[in-house]
């Protein structure tokens, strides 16, 4: 799976977690999910090198993610959340600019 995340409407983020599976989260829930992903990745990087070497999937809130997908999803959520927290005139128009 390639991690996908997008803003659907004000305050709602959709995250694709599998071929036909999606999480629909508020901005606060998405921030919490991002923090949990980062915490899990940090613990793997600093403590559990076996999972990193074996490329074992990680579990965050009952969602299984490869380490690579977790890294990508955390980065995408960071961009989406930082963009949505800006005033409307300061937001980046991703359709015009590209991502």
36-60: per-residue pLDDT in tens? 999 999 888 887 666 566 777 888 8
Q: Is the pTM of this model over 0.95?
A: no
Ordered per-residue pLDDT tens for the chain, 99 residues: 556 787 777 778 888 877 778 888 998 999 999 999 999 998 888 876 665 667 778 888 888 888 888 999 999 898 888 876 666 565 555 555 554
E strand spans, the chain? 4-9, 12-16, 22-26, 58-60, 63-65
Phi, psi of 25 (to 5 degrees): -130, 150
Q: What pLDDT score was predicted for residue 29?
A: 92
CA nearest neighbour of 25 among 10, 37, 13:
13
């Amino acid at each position: 799976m390639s991690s996908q995340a997008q803003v659907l409407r004000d305050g709602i983020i959709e995250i694709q977690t599998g071929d036909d599976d999606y999480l629909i989260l508020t901005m606060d829930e998405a921030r919490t999910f991002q923090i949990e992903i980062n915490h899990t990745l940090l613990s793997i990087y600093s403590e559990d090198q076996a999972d990193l070497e074996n490329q074992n999937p990680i579990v965050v809130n009952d969602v299984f993610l490869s380490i690579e997908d977790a890294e990508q999803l955390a980065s995408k959520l960071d961009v989406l959340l930082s963009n949505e927290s800006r005033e409307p005139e300061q937001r980046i128009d991703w359709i015009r600019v590209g991502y």
